[in-house]
A and B are shown apart, each in its own frame.
Chain A
Amino acid sequence: MKSSWFHLFSSLRKHFFYILIPLFFLGLTFVNPSYAILDTKESDYRQFSFINSRTVIWITAQLHLMLAAFVLGVPLFVVIIEYIGSLKKEARYDKMAKEFMALCMTAFSFTALTGGLLLFCLIALYPTFISYLTDIFFPVMITYGLLFIFETVFLYIYYYSWEILQTHKKVHIFLGVILNVIGLFIMALSNSWATFMMSPGGVNMDTGKLISLWGAINNFTWMPMNIHRLIANVAFGGALVGGYAAIRFIYSTSDEERVHYDWMGHNGFFIAISGLIPLPFAGYWMGKEIYEYNQAMGIRMMGDLFSWLFIIQAGMIGVLFISSNYYLWCRAERVEGSSLYRQVRPWLISVLIICIAVWITPHTLFGMKNTMSSHHPVLGVLGIMSAKNTAVNLLIFITFLSFFLYLKNGNKEESEKSVSNGEWIIIAITILSVITIGLLGYTKEYSGDIRVNFLTPLQVFIVLSAIVMLLVSFFFHKKKTENEKQNIKWGDMPERSQYILILIAVTFTSLMGLMGYARSGIRENWHVYSLMPDNSANSFTPTLGVAMNTIALILVIYFVILWFIFWLNTLRK
């Protein structure tokens, strides 16, 4: 017991460097705020001789974001898994939760390193801009620094007290909850200046002077970004640990290992898919707020320069949905009594493909503007929001159905009816309602306002309600048949299913990289949109090819770091 506490404090001492970073922010309290000149000149920037400043910031910031998303996302579900383990009194949950946290610990160090590197690069390369941002968010940055110290302390206490507090599980879970609450605040605070750059608020738009700090924090895109990142972090963390488990499964040398990592991968996958299902809704809200803030920015994003980017994004999400469904189908093959699931599978596949095809149909394509129309003459019908919202809602609902049918079938004998009539009625009404509302969007009677503020939320509400009703029905039914257990053959999954988990993890990461570029890119030639212009030599939007290549480079660096983290984790054992 004593040695464990000693180990905890010696670990804190060893990681003293990371505590220095928030202290740097504290040091800023002695800096006298003076408002920067909003008109930047080319001499306000510094350059490396061998690489341009923007690429340096791009790579560093994106790496930091990806690592931070992992570090903030994993503890969210680790606490839940630990709680489930304590309720079920099953040691394997506890073991898995601790293994996830072990990955998180090493990743935390790299997050702090890349964060420090990003900060120094910003100060060195974009001094005028970072000075202005510091002027505006001075108190927020101080709070961020303090919270970072608390996060560090609680993270180490939470992890290193795991064994000590085995007999006091509630205390340990409580520590995990505090850790997550601090993590959420850290994420929300850093989102404030990131979103301020996109949709500034709380400042005089002529002089840039601060009028209300809360206005600057709570700008148009802050809350949608918080929600979107929170959900995405969970999905991303789940996908990555799923990918980790898949690699361990592929290279496992014993049946015991295969069973453990199959189960771990399965859980990682379910965490990822639980985040993936509501993520498009959060994305829609975010997009809507961008339009509300500035039409020009919204149009630029969805219908112009970034239209192709969103087609690639839709393609990637399509890959995520199809591969998620494929993994579920592979899993269902290993569950006795999944005949109904096999019967409906072709229908599910067809609907999925149609929905993805509609989703990737563009509204207006940059590079096709010489057609002298703001809509494509043939595909324009599928490019509008009514079609896309219907496709996305159906895509989400079908994926949920896949998941639902998998759950239902696992509990039944082949001959037994697994989905009740009531549940079929809910499914049918939901699909018909979503399609009907989608078609109503084409009629002239409904203005844009009604479509955006009533019809689309109604579609989302119907899908979410149906999901909740079906889940309630499932759990109610399950309670009545508690003695029935899913007869899952763990460790018996084909290797290709594990590559699907890796594909999901890599696609999630690629998607994050792509959307990071989109979020930055839609600001165009502004550090702070409409307020502080970027007059550096790199103040232009690169081609999507260049962007994708840069993202590929970032991903390679990121996966090398992850590989190093995973390798360290194997050494620990």
Chain B
Amino acid sequence: MGTKIFKATSIFFMLYAFFGFIFSLPEFLFSWSMWFIFCSFITIIFFREARVGAFILFIIWGYSFAGNIIPQQEFRKKSIKDVKRNAELFIRAGKEIFNGKGMCYLCHSIGPSRKARCPDLLKASREAGMRKAGYSAKEYFIESLYKPDAYIVQGYSNIMPPIWKPPISLTPLEIETVIAYVQSLSGDAVDLTPFVPPVDLGGKDGKNESDQEVLTGDPIRGKDIFESGKGKCLACHKVFGKGGEGEDGKGETIGPDLSEIAKINTINYLKESVLSPNMKITAGYAFVDFRTKEDLRVEGKVIKEDSASIIVLSDEAKIEREFRKSDIEVRELLSPLDFDDPVTKGYFWVKGSLKNGAQFEGELISDEGESLIVGVKKEKVLKKEVASLQGRRIRRYSKMPEYGHVLSVNEFNDLLTYLVTLKGNGV
């Protein structure tokens, strides 16, 4: 009788310890295991009838125990839903994507590695900026990430999947954060300039993700941001007769009326206008900044302008003054190679000499990349042939801040979703 009770007790505790082990919290695994080993050994040694059962249970426990003592990692695909356009936050988010959802770390090394499947990314940002003429490092990364076969680094094969497609499915924001992280690795400044994905993200079924990204915002929240939230757009812009009178309600209208903005412009235009207001300034709302030959600095709103003169309403004195463009200071441009897109920078007149001694002078018509078009005869001046260069410049700007630095990505989407409803017939 005593033996039977001993046997039953031993088997009961063995099973109890086994199920305790399976269902216990990780910190108690060793305690349960000790109990199980003890009870199962007693059963195996003393009770022949239950020996095989205890042995089977012991093997199962053994494999399960092995699975529990290795490093444990639960994996959930963490997505970045929203992040403020700030370098530090972008780098942190990018690192998480790099080592998580993006799976980048599996193939790319950070630092030299002979066996890595894909290029080392430690100095990639510096090299990327030099790999394609006219492309910044970020532009190069964007194209490489969306079209992995666009540029194949020598010595590596074309094995990278398009990470914006399933199964990795990184969003444009996540890709941008990864770029920020990679830029930070080489110690370079992080380029936070927003971008438009160079591919149609939606495929053939019309699910254009770039449009979806805009349209999935909340227009009500967008309206709040526009009127009273971070945007405070109503201080400068008028919408359906409301706003545009300065923050105190007594000022002048310094931004265009937006009541019909979505009726006459595309979503991409709206996006660009919010993120980079200086790219395209609506006529009548441009402000200028230049110096005259007499070293007078002029800042104010453009009232009227033609090829020979400009009338400016000065910011401080609030008086209108007319200036001849030929009276604007002539500045020296040290290196023609640094003369990156001078038209956008505000240069309207240039004068210089070529390496062969020839002179040129006149209105700067356009920048063709490798050459400048100058004067009424539209003379083509190769930049690499230029020996010296001077120019007159009027810097033009909008008073609107770059909202990419003010709003988070989701707030930006909400605002944009509100703006596309402004078609002249109320919200």
Which residue on B lies nearest to A532, using beta carbons? Answer: B166
B22 lies within 8 A of A540 (CB) = no
Complex CA gap A506/B77 in Å reads 34
Residues of chain B with a CB closer than 8 A to A541's CB: 74-76
B73 lies within 8 A of A543 (CB) = yes
A542 lies within 8 A of B74 (CB) = yes
Complex CA gap A280/B166 in Å reads 30
* Chain B interface residue number, banded: 35 or more
Residues of chain A with a CB closer than 8 A to B108's CB: 374
Q: Which chain B residues in 88-139 approach chain A with CB under 8 Å?
A: 99, 103, 105-111, 113, 115-117
B61 at the interface (CB under 8 A from A): yes
Q: How distant is B289 from chain A, measured CB to nearest CB, in Å?
A: 47
A295 lies within 8 A of B159 (CB) = yes
Given contacts A295-B161, A525-B77, contact A373 B111 (CB under 8 A): yes
Q: Which chain A residues in 266-312 approach chain B with CB under 8 Å?
A: 294-297, 299-300, 303-305, 308, 311-312
Bitwise, A304-335 to B at CB < 8 A (1) or not (0) is 11001001100110000000000000000000
B26 at the interface (CB under 8 A from A): yes
Which residue on B lies nearest to A246, using beta carbons? Answer: B52
Which single member of B57, B76, B117, B203 contacts A540 (CB below 8 Å)? B76
Q: Which chain B residues in 7-43 approach chain A with CB under 8 Å?
A: 18, 21-23, 26, 29
B63 lies within 8 A of A530 (CB) = no
Number of residues of chain A lying within 8 A (CB) of chain B: 65
Bitwise, A244-270 to B at CB < 8 A (1) or not (0) is 000100110000000000000000000
Which residue on A lies nearest to B59, using beta carbons? Answer: A506
A80 at the interface (CB under 8 A from B): no
Complex CA gap A496/B105 in Å reads 48
Complex CA gap A447/B74 in Å reads 35
B60 at the interface (CB under 8 A from A): yes
Residues of chain B with a CB closer than 8 A to A304's CB: 103, 106
Q: How distant is A304 from chain B, measured CB to nearest CB, in Å?
A: 6
Given contacts A295-B161, A311-B70, contact A552 B60 (CB under 8 A): yes
Residues of chain B with a CB closer than 8 A to A447's CB: 157
Which residue on A lies nearest to B49, using beta carbons? Answer: A251
Complex CA gap A303/B107 in Å reads 10
Complex CA gap A433/B75 in Å reads 42
Which residue on B lies nearest to A555, using beta carbons? Answer: B60
Q: Which chain A residues in 461-520 approach chain B with CB under 8 Å?
A: 499, 502-503, 506-507, 510, 514
Binds B, one of A103-111, A347-355, A364-372, A394-402: A364-372
Residues of chain A with a CB closer than 8 A to B1's CB: none
Q: How distant is A109 from chain B, measured CB to nearest CB, in Å?
A: 23
Residues of chain A with a CB closer than 8 A to B77's CB: 524-525, 540
A374 lies within 8 A of B74 (CB) = no
Complex CA gap A126/B191 in Å reads 45
Q: How distant is A124 from chain B, measured CB to nearest CB, in Å?
A: 25
B107 lies within 8 A of A506 (CB) = no
B103 lies within 8 A of A551 (CB) = no
B74 lies within 8 A of A502 (CB) = no
Q: How distant is B104 from chain A, measured CB to nearest CB, in Å?
A: 10
Which residue on B lies nearest to A375, using beta carbons? Answer: B115
Residues of chain A with a CB closer than 8 A to B66's CB: 312, 315, 548
Q: How distant is B383 from chain A, measured CB to nearest CB, in Å?
A: 42
A375 lies within 8 A of B55 (CB) = no
Complex CA gap A118/B21 in Å reads 27
Given contacts A374-B116, A548-B68, contact A296 B111 (CB under 8 A): no
Residues of chain B with a CB closer than 8 A to A315's CB: 66
Which residue on A lies nearest to B66, using beta carbons? Answer: A312
Residues of chain B with a CB closer than 8 A to A531's CB: 166
Residues of chain B with a CB closer than 8 A to A499's CB: 55
Q: How distant is A241 from chain B, measured CB to nearest CB, in Å?
A: 15
Residues of chain A with a CB closer than 8 A to B109's CB: 372-374
Bitwise, A544-561 to B at CB < 8 A (1) or not (0) is 111111011101100100
A448 at the interface (CB under 8 A from B): yes
A9 at the interface (CB under 8 A from B): no
Complex CA gap A502/B44 in Å reads 14
The main secondary structure of chain A at its interface with chain B is: helix
Complex CA gap A545/B108 in Å reads 29
Complex CA gap A526/B167 in Å reads 8
Q: Which chain B residues in 193-226 approach chain A with CB under 8 Å?
A: 203-205, 207
B113 lies within 8 A of A373 (CB) = yes
Complex CA gap A367/B26 in Å reads 17
Q: How distant is B169 from chain A, measured CB to nearest CB, in Å?
A: 9
Complex CA gap A205/B166 in Å reads 9
B167 lies within 8 A of A529 (CB) = yes
A10 at the interface (CB under 8 A from B): no
Q: Which of A364, A447, A540, A543 has the most CB of B within 10 A?
A: A543
B71 lies within 8 A of A367 (CB) = yes
Which residue on A lies nearest to B163, using beta carbons? Answer: A296
Given contacts A305-B73, A312-B67, A524-B167, contact A552 B22 (CB under 8 A): yes
B64 at the interface (CB under 8 A from A): yes
Which residue on A lies nearest to B57, using beta carbons? Answer: A556
B61 lies within 8 A of A375 (CB) = no
Which single member of B75, B105, B167, B204 contacts A369 (CB below 8 Å)? B105
Residues of chain A with a CB closer than 8 A to B71's CB: 308, 365-368
Complex CA gap A514/B60 in Å reads 12
A380 at the interface (CB under 8 A from B): yes
Which single member of B113, B168, B204 contacts A296 (CB below 8 Å)? B168
Given contacts A316-B63, A374-B105, contact A553 B22 (CB under 8 A): yes
Q: Which of B56, B64, B77 has the most CB of A within 10 A?
A: B56
Complex CA gap A552/B58 in Å reads 11
B72 at the interface (CB under 8 A from A): yes
- Could you list which residues of chain A lie within 8 angstroms of chain B, going by C-beta atoms? 205-207, 247, 250-251, 294-297, 299-300, 303-305, 308, 311-312, 315-316, 364-369, 372-375, 380, 384, 447-448, 499, 502-503, 506-507, 510, 514, 524-526, 529-531, 539-549, 551-553, 555-556, 559, 563
Give 9 A-B pairs besides A372-B111, A531-B166, A540-B77 with Cβ atoms closer than 8 angstroms.
A205-B166, A207-B205, A247-B52, A315-B66, A374-B116, A506-B60, A541-B76, A544-B67, A548-B67
7 closest cross-chain pairs (CB), A and B: A548-B67, A367-B71, A530-B166, A545-B68, A543-B72, A541-B75, A540-B76
Q: Can you list 30 A-B contacts (CB < 8 A)?
A: A205-B166, A206-B203, A206-B204, A207-B205, A250-B52, A295-B159, A296-B167, A299-B106, A303-B106, A305-B75, A312-B67, A367-B71, A372-B105, A373-B109, A373-B116, A374-B107, A374-B115, A374-B116, A375-B113, A447-B157, A507-B59, A526-B166, A530-B166, A542-B74, A545-B67, A545-B70, A548-B67, A552-B61, A556-B60, A559-B56
